[in-house]
Amino acid sequence: MIAKAEDIITHNIQAVFNTIDSGILVETADRTISFVNNKFLNIFGIPGKPEDMKGYNCLGAAQVAKAFFKNPDEFIEDVTEIPIAATERVDVIESTDGRHFKRKYHPLLKDGELTGHVWYYEQVTSLMHKELDLINQRNFYHTMLNELPADIAIFSAEHKYLYLNKTAIKNDEIRNWLIGKDDYEYCRFREKDISIADKRRAYFNEAKRTGKSVSWIDENIKPDGTKDYVLRIFYPYFGDNNLLKFVIGYGINITEQKTHEIAANEEKERFKTLMETLNDGVFQISFDGDIMFYNSSFVKAMNLEDNTIPGKYESYIMKHVHPQDKKSLYTSFDKLRLKQKPQKGIFRIIDNKAEVIRYIDYCIWYRHTDKDGDIVAGRLSDITERIQKEQQMVTLIDREKELNNMKSNFIHITSHELRTPLSVIMSSAEILEMYENNPNTAVTIDKRKFTSGIVKEVNKITDILNELLIVGRIENNKIKYSPKHVNTVSYINSLLEEQFSPFSDGRSVNLKIDNNVSSIFVDSNLMRHAISNILSNAFKYSAGKPDPELRIFKKEDQIHISITDFGIGIPETELKNLFHSFYRASNVGNISGTGIGLMVVQHAVKTHNGQVIVNSTPGRGTTFTIIIPNIK
């Protein structure tokens, strides 16, 4: 009865093992096969029943089975050496027919003594292929992000590093080590001041709390003693449930810009110091107008001919004051006489041609002396240089404001334009992952719909980044210009067929090329960018309207490339800003765009010694005309 019961238990155990979706092989301590299940036989194509394998020497069976694997010698070495170590191990091996198996070894121990070995084989081919696809896609994004000229990092909601590009951390080993860690661990590792991590955590928490991007400037001292400045930004990303998914951190090196700013401030300080040490012109004048005292600096400031000043100041000195400033200068003297309080102002000195050659800052005050009675004391400072520098400073400040506006527009537009395609990619990937994790679900999906959606959004991101790269090359003067004669019809048809035949909404371009324009002299790549950007805008801002028109004709010694749409148009007051970086008209609404396409157009056309003319009527449409020389 006991033996029968043991047989039943053994049978039941075998039945259980046969239901497991993994091949199982059990050996005794002396490497004799004691059990295999049906799945093991199926995987390796072994005929017969599981019990037929019982009693075979495992190493001998391995010699027969090694031909099944892509690396037979490595397989034999593993089967021989792994049980000697008697330590759990998991790896993946590949068969000669391209299938992949996850192999797991587990030693059987009783009271610390090895009693046998268990091997598990699970087919993971489809999983490996998916992982390979994901790896290829991830590598693509990694390459793309690593090429960006900015530090980029992605943080978890707990402020742990999820990703860093090579610009952020160049050392691969340190970069990989930092994943899953935070700035505190990094500061301790690099022996940096922990306050750096405190500051970044505070900015991170602020972005997390407010749900808005936060920026600051990091100042670093390099080994050679010079300073490096990096503008850093935390941008929080929230999911549909309004929960923080991750935070994008990126840094842009603004050392050059900051250096100019510091240099400007230092120049301003030097200017102040210089003004404090200047020998001002000093003078005394009686209230009757007699010049009583002056020095050589006064003579120089007033542009006088020599040190001998005859008569009263009205007849000799005032003749060098700009006519528009004489009234205010006389008024200052009158107020001083009545109120006896210091009077200040600025007047201009003119030469014999009535041109302004000097700006004079003056201060006059009342004095009474026993000898001379009531007199006017004053000082003059030549502030011509200061005025000029202030004008330059205003120009620099305006430029600084323009750069800051460009930076803000870049951050806003780039993050906005990337957010939507990233959201689509994320949602599509989640749906595919959910379906793959539940293949037996009753719901079926069209995988091609989601994968094509991912590809479409990736292409959008690629287009945005390509535009940014072109702008970078333009600003760094790295755009090559190689013009040549191209067949007009072939060139334009090729461009249209590639992108606009038809456009995504089904419309096409109404094309007309005059017969006398058989060829045009252009850089094919540059002009392709220009025409494509204008045509893309023509379609994008005229949805639901008639087909845009493209006409090419010759007028005198010029080639006209005219593109007309019948869309929303452009407000007249905004036409002057169209070709500025990141500028978009106020009436674009929710239509996506980066605001840099027309900048590329203008650069391309100017490179061809041409011009772009824009005519637009809000609500009726817009015509862009590219005019370039007709070079024969």
Domain termination site, one of 475, 499, 529 = 475
pLDDT category, 271, cuts 50, 70, 90? very low
At 12 the pLDDT is 52
Please, which pLDDT band fits residue 275 given cuts at 50, 70 and 90? very low
pLDDT confidence of 211, banded at 50, 70, 90? Answer: very high
* CATH number of the domain that residue 496 is part of: 3.30.565.10
Burial (CB count <10 Å: 0-12, 13-18, 19+), residue 216: middle
How big is the CA angle at 290 (ends 359 and 348), to the nearest 5 degrees? 10
Choose between 464 and 126: higher pLDDT: 126
Lowest mean pLDDT among 202-216, 475-489, 585-599: 585-599
- One domain, residues 375 and 430: no
Higher pLDDT among residues 594 and 545, named by residue: 545
Residue 117: per-residue pLDDT: 93
**Do both 575 and 599 map to the same domain?**
yes
Question: In the predicted model, is pLDDT for residue 477 greater than 90?
Answer: no
Compare 369 and 45 and report the one with higher pLDDT: 45
pLDDT of residue 201: 95
User: In terms of domains, do 501 and 581 share one?
Assistant: yes
Task: State the Cα–Cα distance between residues 578 and 403, nearest whole angstrom.
Answer: 17
Q: What is the mean pLDDT of residues 297-311?
A: 65
Name the domain boundary from 328, 347, 382. Answer: 382
9, pLDDT greater than 50? no
CATH of the domain at 168: 3.30.450.20
Residue 269, in any domain of the structure: no
pLDDT band for position 1 (50/70/90)? Answer: very low
Q: Which residue has the higher pLDDT, 353 or 313?
A: 353
Question: Coil, strand, or helix at residue 268?
Answer: helix
Q: What angle separates helix 72-85 from helix 58-65, to the nearest 10 degrees?
A: 160
One domain for residues 314 and 287? yes
How confident is the model at residue 124, as a pLDDT? 85
Own/partner long-range contacts of 148-153 (Cβ < 8 Å, ≥24 apart): 148/465, 149/252, 149/253, 149/472, 150/250, 150/251, 150/252, 151/230, 151/232, 151/249, 151/250, 151/251, 151/252, 152/248, 152/249, 152/250, 153/248, 153/249, 153/250
User: Which whole number is the average pLDDT over 436-456?
Assistant: 69
594 three-state secondary structure: coil
470 has pLDDT over 90: no
- pLDDT, one tens digit per residue, over 165-184 is 888 888 989 989 999 999 99
User: Percentage of the chain with pLDDT > 90?
Assistant: 28
**pLDDT of amino acid 352:** 67
pLDDT, the chain, mean: 81
Count up the domains in the chain and report the number: 5
Lowest average pLDDT, out of 44-53, 162-171, 217-226, 586-595, goes to 586-595
For Cα atoms 76, 78, 83, give the angle at the middle one, nearest 5 degrees: 115
Check residue 268 and give its pLDDT: 64
pTM over 0.75: no
User: Of 324, 348, 382, which residue sits at a domain end?
Assistant: 382
3-state helix, strand, coil in the chain (%, to 5): 45, 25, 25
Question: Hey, which of 66-80, 252-266, 395-409 has the most confident mean pLDDT?
Answer: 66-80
pLDDT, mean of residues 551-567: 93
Same domain, 453 and 528: no
The pLDDT value given to residue 319: 73
Contact in structure between 281 and 302 (CB atoms under 8 Å): yes
Q: Is the domain of 116 the same as that of 25?
A: yes
Instruction: Decide if pLDDT at 513 tops 80.
Output: yes
What is the pLDDT confidence band of residue 208, given thresholds at 50, 70 and 90?
very high
Q: Convert the pLDDT of each residue in 529-551 to its tens digit.
A: 889 889 988 998 999 999 999 99
Are residue 465 and residue 590 in the same domain, yes or no?
no
The domain spanning residue 394 has which CATH number? 1.10.287.130
* 241 vs 510: which has the higher pLDDT: 510
Q: Note down the domain range covering 412.
A: 389-475
- For residues 153 and 422, the model is more confident at 153
> Could you give the percent of the chain with pLDDT greater than 70?
81
What is the Cα–Cα distance from 623 to 564, expressed in whole angstroms?
4
One domain for residues 296 and 249: no
- 419 and 516 in a single domain? The answer is no
417 CA to centre of own chain = 11
In the prediction, which pLDDT does 2 show? 44
pLDDT in tens, 360-403: 877 777 777 666 677 787 778 777 888 888 888 887 777 677 65
